[in-house]
Amino acid sequence: MITGASNGLGAEMARQVATQGAHTILTARRTEKLAELSTQIQADYGVISAYYKMDMTNFVEVEEVVQRIGDTKIDVLVNCAGFGIFEEAVTTDFVTVERMFDTNVLGLMRLTQLVLPSMLARKSGHIINIASQAGKIATPKSSAYAATKFAVLGYSNALRMEVSPVGIHVTTVNPGPIATSFFDIADKSGDYLNNVGFLVLKPEKVAAKIVGIMGKPKREINLPFLMNIISRMYQVMPRVIEFFGKGAFEKK
């Protein structure tokens, strides 16, 4: 089951797991794109691909979708739906902040809570939460977005300790910038991806990394390599990294 599957990383993961013979359950707000993807997957790979309209901010709808899925066994849940806005904390519209938390954090938590009981009963399953390098190092103009991803990491780390004893894996994926439509909303200037250049990841590469660890007890995936090194250094000497990284952090 993949949320936010209508395009970008979510859609690419759906295609790649289907090549391995996995059946897919796809959710997103835009059903027209989901329908196209589902049809394509079934035609190209001969697997079952169901899809459901699901707005992660609508917790009643989240519950209804899980009820409609019913007894279908969900081996892997990928919480991929999310969005961000690059704007200074003082000027970020608070309604947007609330919607960001509802989508990136609370919707993720509610869906996970609804899917977990059947995994616990089977004593198997894998929860994969798409977080961000922004959850490791907060930078200017990403206060609300970074806060949501810090929350996802905290939730995932606690959840992992709760469910790993019964054989359920929890993985967080912490990518840097990915060349997807995410930045159509996040970056009003349209310059960010060009500014960060070689750090930009291809969705196909990130999806392949995620699909490759499904069913395995992998704690985290951190991409790209350079950002992972910097985030590790940040844990030890945050002031130094903030001082020397000031120019890079302010490319938004």
b/e sequence 63-72, b meaning 16+ C-beta within 10 Å: eebbeebeee
- Cβ burial of 46 (10 Å; 0-12, 13-18, 19+) is exposed
pLDDT in tens, 13-37: 999 999 999 999 999 998 999 999 9
The bridge status of strand 49-53 relative to strand 24-28 is parallel
Report d(CA 155, CA 106) in Å as an integer: 10
pLDDT in tens, 97-122: 999 999 999 999 999 999 999 999 99
Residues 168-193, mean pLDDT to the nearest whole number: 79
On the question of pLDDT at 56 being above 80, the answer is: yes
Residues 56-77, mean pLDDT to the nearest whole number: 97
What's residue 187's pLDDT? 62
Active site residue 145: yes
Map residue 77 onto helix, strand or coil.
strand
Answer yes or no: pTM beyond 0.85: yes
Report d(CA 124, CA 166) in Å as an integer: 7
Residue spans of the domains in the chain: they are 8-249
Report d(CA 224, CA 238) in Å as an integer: 19
Fold observed for domain 8-249: Rossmann fold (3.40.50)
Question: Which residues lie across from 113 on neighbouring strands?
Answer: none
Of the residues 45, 51, 52, 145, only one is catalytic, namely 145
Closest CA to 87 of 2, 32, 146: 146
On the question of pLDDT at 186 being above 80, the answer is: no
pLDDT in tens, 173-182: 999 988 876 7
b/e sequence 227-237, b meaning 16+ C-beta within 10 Å: bbebbeebeee
Residues 73-99, mean pLDDT to the nearest whole number: 96
- Cβ burial of 96 (10 Å; 0-12, 13-18, 19+) is middle
Report d(CA 61, CA 18) in Å as an integer: 26
Q: What are the counts of helices (DSSP H) followed by strands (DSSP E) for the chain? A: 12, 6
- Cβ burial of 104 (10 Å; 0-12, 13-18, 19+) is buried
